[in-house]
Structure 1
Amino acid sequence: MNINKLKSNFSMRAAFRGLIAIIIFIAIWEFGARSLDLIGYRVPFIGLIPPPTAVLDSWAGLVVDPSYWQSWYMSFMRVFTGFLVAMVVGIPLGLYMAVNRTFYGIAFPSFEILRPIPPLAWVPASIIFWPTQEMSIAFVTFLGAFYTIVINVLGGAKSINRQYLQAAQSMGASQADIFRRIILPATLPSIVVGSAVGMGITWEVVVAAEMISGGGSGGAGGGLGFFIWSSYVGGSYEQIIVGMISIGIAGYISSELLRKLGGRFTPWLKTR
């Protein structure tokens, strides 16, 4: 009971410190943005962006605008689709490369050649080769998470102590049992980490892809990336900041949900 109370107190203190840090950040931002009026000197960089109060006013107007929430929906669906396909393809691929040396020797060289290519470098080619802009955005979003997931799964499986595998084999365990009881549980933490990192990259990629492709087939709600770009073209700098903060919130929510889900599949890590 005391341990739970200590954990609760620690969580409250951590949340309080985070809240204080956010308040200080906003105060510095507000002062810097209004520095020319307050002290007669424009603070570099910060003095060129809208103050938080102006951003909040703009945000209040957007909350009742359906196209703003349509942008959220379009980006979320693109991220979810690309990330889900990356998980479905990347996890089995990484595990199979880890357990099969022949397949590893065939697939890994090509994988390593393609992996350093930034996902955004695929945008022009994907627009040309895929029949719709929506599919091209989904493909680029898939690439954003795919390589990170595969390399984490492969690294996690490769780091398993071979003595565990040899001990299981000596006791008569089949390859299916070894995979199900040793390889997969030992790789789950790496899958969780790779998924969380891949989710962050996916949000970065989908926003840039929406900017480049003009929002795909989303129209007025072409995604948060298109929302930022159209705000820039229209000269609404407050809305640009709103879009950037919206992406940060969306990315945080997505990664936090993944971490919570990963914690349920790896409960033994909570004891560390």
Structure 2
Amino acid sequence: MKYMLVIGPQRLKQAMIIGTSLLLAILLGYAERETITAFSTSDTAPHAIYKVDTKEKKIALTFDISWGETRAEPILNILKEKNVKATIFLSSAWSQRHPELVKRIKEDGHEIGSHGHKHDFYSKYSDEEIRRQIRLADSILTDLAGKKPTLIRMPNGDFDKRVLKIADSLGYSVIQWDTDSQDWTNPGKDVIIDNVLSKAHPGDIVLMHASDSSKETHLALPVIIDKLRAQGYALVTVSELITGTDVKSEEVH
């Protein structure tokens, strides 16, 4: 006697949903294997730097500035008052509109890095346009600051292998971060402080912002500085952090 399995409409629908979910999981897993990033310095391909491997209690505070009129100066005032030298990644379009602030950043002794020209996702650009954007920013920042930047943080933290290779060919190291303050979400002063202090570690690169979208950074910053120092951390520039240390970088496929 032969038996036939009969599945009702509801069961069939459930089975199809489960099957579709499994297929998506398999495809996503494959995609992640193709695009996953892993800490590595095993080859000579350019890498983005997220932190350094050190036991010394050193941390680099970094700030991105891409637009706005009101937030940069209060943050610069705090850094000067606290005698902190930071690495500040400047959009060259913003810098053209605020040459006096670029001059102050330089005179206050901060390290100036490039944040590109147009604030966009560079990985979607052609090689030619990526090169044009980086070169344009390079020319403007070199003219305003009197020194060619050697560090770049891509707008939106966005890059792929092409971006890394082109940046490297133009004399730049791509700098990311290992601790994100998430100050741009304006979650409240105490949350920003906790976002940094709960994750800070030796060799860390901390992401913060001095654009007008970040309305609470200047409130959290003094506490962050004081508490990091109380924990024994020295606050240094990115170049000081990575000089003579093993960098932790991510390989991009």
| TM-score normalised by the chain length of structure 1 | 0.24
The one of the two structures with greater contact order (alpha-carbon pairs below 8 A, sep at least 6) is 2
Structure with higher strand content: 2
TM-score, with length taken from structure 2: 0.25
